[in-house]
A and B are shown apart, each in its own frame.
Chain A
Amino acid sequence: MTLPQIFFAYFAVSITGLSLLVVTRKNPVHGVLWMLVLFVHIAMLYLFLNAEFLAAIQIIIYAGAILVLFLFVVMLLNLRAEERERRFQWSWPVGLVAAGGYAVSLIFILVKITVFPQPGHYTIEKMQSEGNLMIIGRVLYTKYLLPFEITSLILLVAIIGAVVLTKKRHE
């Protein structure tokens, strides 16, 4: 195995193990904190794939915003009583079989897949000479301007929806 493959093997094993930890912890706070470690590992995997901007927003948005939101909700709901009960539904063997079968069938399909179209022109040398953030910004504001604007609309809907859903009703 070469050095990049050893690095990838470390990240693959730790990401898989950490995601198993996330879905099996009893205390939601522990689950969220393991998720934080998992997000840092995924950000390092992005660095490995020459996507510096994605690594930065993975840390800032996921670890900094979304996980803090989860921790706030765990704090507000005050789940002391629920922590002492069982953590899985009664139907958990069905979920285990379904997810296991899904994983096996996906892997069987994916090891055989050989689709490889023409490579594009954003080579690593070009990325390094111009800068990852500069290229992303230029493409985002020209070729993908409409999806970018729709994204801002989605965020507006999320802001208004969250406020409307949680405010008190005045009869």
Chain B
Amino acid sequence: MVPLSWYIILSAVVFSIGVLGFLMRRNLIMVFLSIELMLNSINISLAAFSHYLQSITGQIMVFLVITVAAAEAAIGLAILMAYYKNNPTIKADEINLLKG
């Protein structure tokens, strides 16, 4: 039997790698991909809790999180396209219209 804490620690490590990518990358597409990575790590921990607590609620939560992730990716990439039409760059450190 695999202990529950192994799953939770795997989830924490993958979440931290997602945070790392979010803070380090310049390409905004990769920043969005890091956000998807973080959502996936949360899904792992929710599914593990669902299995070990013998409850179905965790799996329902994963279902809802996947839906929100799909909506987030669609809206985020649409914002990216709209920005690229005005200023042709998607580098995170060169987008500074609101910097003042």
Which A residues are closer than 8 A to B by beta carbons?
A: 2, 4-5, 8, 12, 15-16, 19-20, 22-24, 28, 31-32, 35, 38-39, 42, 45-46, 49-51, 53-54, 57-58, 61-62, 65-66, 69-70, 73-74, 76-77, 79, 82, 85-92, 94-96, 98-100, 102-103, 106-107, 110-111, 113, 117, 119-124, 135-136, 139-140, 144, 147-148, 151, 154-155, 157-159, 161-162, 165-166
Contacts and interface: CB of A to CB of B under 8 A. Distances in A.
A79 B90 contact: yes
Contacts, number: 229
A165 B54 contact: no
Interface of B: 1-2, 5-10, 12-27, 29-30, 32-34, 36-37, 40, 43-44, 47-48, 50-51, 53-57, 59-60, 62-64, 66-75, 77-82, 84, 89-93
A160 to B, nearest CB: 10
- The main secondary structure of chain B at its interface with chain A is helix
A110 B12 contact: yes
Contacts of B25: 23, 87-89
Contacts of A4: 1-2
Nearest to B17: A19
B18 A23 contact: yes
A120 to B, nearest CB: 4
B8 A103 contact: no
Contacts of A31: 30, 33
A95 B22 CA distance: 8
A89 to B, nearest CB: 5
Contacts of B36: 35, 62, 66
Contacts of A151: 64, 67-68
